[in-house]
A and B are shown apart, each in its own frame.
Chain A
Amino acid sequence: MAEDVLKSIREKQILEYARDRLSPYIYVSEIDERSSEARLGLMIQDGIVDHETDEFRIRTVKLSDIGSLRWSRSPRGKIQFRGSTRTQLVKNTNDLYSSIINRSQQLLLTSLYVKLVTIDTVSVAMKPFKKILVSLEESEHEIVAVHDFGQKLSDKKRQRIPQYFNLLRELGYIERVGDGKYTVGNAMSNLKADSIESSRLYAMILADVIRRRSKYLQQVLHLTMIVPFLRWSNSYYFPSYEADRLVKMHDKEIIANCRRYYGVRTDEETAKSQLQSMVERDIFTRDASGNYRGIDQTFEEYKSSADRDAILAPIPVS
């Protein structure tokens, strides 16, 4: 009992210090009397708008370990605190919050990649992969050579062609048969055995490439066309997940979420045009008042993987 009282007094002392000097949204996640140290958490408040019910709800995401404070007694017996600065806490918080946002985005990708690949700008970016697959299909012996590709391209773009081949080989869609020559791989043969129609087959392969190698596509091959669409999706579906239902959002709210999650500004016209192409690909629906709503099946898939991953559970720094 006395221990509980001491803990409560200590917590109040720490909070009085931390909430006045660091943030009113700090909480104490752990107190260790032996080492005179407390771990600090932060309550991030997400505002979620739902035009369906005309509600603005606050959902708190707790980051349980963004820094620490140690205490000691001065010679006069006054309690003194030392520890993480606000700058350090902000950095840790940004890192942790970004990891939640990125994890959510990754989970969403697995539910959306088949649809995302059909968006025009994404499909253009993925064209080199499609050309390789189509050439294989059309060639007499199902063999293609790297040097047959990219003759009209600039040097810079031509240099990337072996990387496209390598990526498809790595995923088992093509197989090397000689110096710079490739044929159909096991993964593609298996899909073909299922008598999937060609255009759907290509879409499935391209979607799989995006799903399994999105980081490589963006950071090495610089195919970043998919990024804004993933961000828009996450800026809608993540708050819906926090609200535990598909909410109705206006484009300005999706744009504001995107800015808050990723720190990027997008002009309204570009945003609207990209959101429109996502409506056309059945990633959202939009009603006559301009409110966007997600798709039930996509949300259910994303929700079950997000639940499994416990993306909103407090996560520690280390």
Chain B
Amino acid sequence: MALSVTSEVRKPYLDGKNGIDVSEVTAYFKFQALPNSCVPTCIHNVLKALAASHRYPPIALSERRVNQLCRYRLNFGPIMNDIVSNMKGAIRSFGYAAYAGAHMTYGTLAKVIDDKEGSYPVIELSHKYLDDRCDSTEDSTSENPPDHVVIVLCSDPNETIIFDPFDTRNKVMRKLPDRIGRGLYLMPTGQIMEYWDKAFRSWAFWIGRLSRKTRGTTRSTVLEQYPVNSEAK
């Protein structure tokens, strides 16, 4: 589902998966409670969206459960290496699998967004994204500052709609001209890709549906479709 970029006024903004108004999709999304809880918050949100679109409530794991699966700890955040394996174990019996990849291509990202069987992708953006947009940190001089993650709801070669779990906490962000709703931003795809590319791992994460044929095995439709550098480490 691609966005039309010709018109200035083009509400409603639709998601790239089911053509639903993005503000409807994200109406029940949560915002991060702590500065370093963006990863579990985004994963919790994409699971909720998946549960709603597939009409399958069990996949909407609670925030607490997602925190456990991500091995989230105060001040330490999640353990990135454990997220995929732990999530896989938790959702496999529901017929889903978790995937993550570093340095994924834009084409793969677009396919993940398009796939009605899977979740929206969560992508890692460089710390510069926060520095540029919300004047939220005082530590930009640090050489390797921690990155941030957002959910991609829709993208075409020109523009991308993201949900940022940091949104409601920051006044500067809320006044940005590209803010199109609660937590929602419409940004040039080139800019998003730049932030994504400059992130430490250029990480991406998503949930896919195990195919009927392969459910109960270790393979999934998503993995078969997108083998390029996308398998979890």
Contacts and interface: CB of A to CB of B under 8 A. Distances in A.
Interface in A44-100: 44-47, 49, 53-60, 86, 89-90, 93, 97
Given A20-B81, A43-B145, A47-B34, A56 B76 contact: no
Interface stretch (A21-29, A120-128, A139-147): A21-29
Contacts of A54: 171
The secondary structure that dominates the A interface is: mixed
Contact of B76 (A16, A23, A27): A23
Given A15-B200, A25-B146, A60-B142, A89 B137 contact: no
For chain B, the bracket of interface size reads 20 to 34
B146 A45 contact: yes
Contacts of B137: 57-58, 60
A260 interface: yes
A53 B171 CA distance: 8
B198 interface: no
Contact of A21 (B79, B136, B200): B79
B205 to A, nearest CB: 13
A165 to B, nearest CB: 44
A203 B122 CA distance: 58
A22 B81 CA distance: 9
Contact of A97 (B36, B75, B77, B79): B75
Contacts of A90: 73, 76
B209 to A, nearest CB: 26
A102 B16 CA distance: 50
Contacts of B76: 22-23, 25, 42, 86, 89-90, 93
Contacts of A57: 136-138
Interface residues of A, number: 33
Interface string B70-84: 000111111111000
A20 to B, nearest CB: 4
A192 interface: no
Contacts of A28: 144
B169 A56 contact: yes
Nearest to B130: A58
B214 interface: no
A46 B75 CA distance: 9
A47 B200 CA distance: 22
Nearest to A94: B75
B75 A93 contact: yes
A213 interface: no
Contacts of A19: 80, 200-201
Contacts of A21: 79-81
Contacts of A16: 200-201
17 contacts: A11-B144, A20-B80, A20-B201, A24-B77, A27-B144, A42-B76, A43-B139, A43-B142, A43-B145, A45-B75, A46-B35, A54-B171, A58-B130, A58-B136, A58-B137, A60-B139, A90-B76
Interface of A: 11, 15-16, 19-25, 27-28, 42-47, 49, 53-60, 86, 89-90, 93, 97, 260
10 A-B pairs with least C-beta separation: A56-B169, A45-B35, A23-B76, A60-B139, A20-B81, A47-B35, A54-B171, A58-B35, A20-B80, A44-B75
Given A24-B80, A43-B139, A43-B142, 20 more contacts: A11-B143, A15-B144, A15-B200, A16-B201, A19-B201, A24-B77, A24-B146, A25-B36, A27-B143, A45-B34, A45-B35, A45-B36, A47-B34, A49-B169, A56-B170, A58-B137, A58-B138, A60-B137, A93-B76, A260-B74
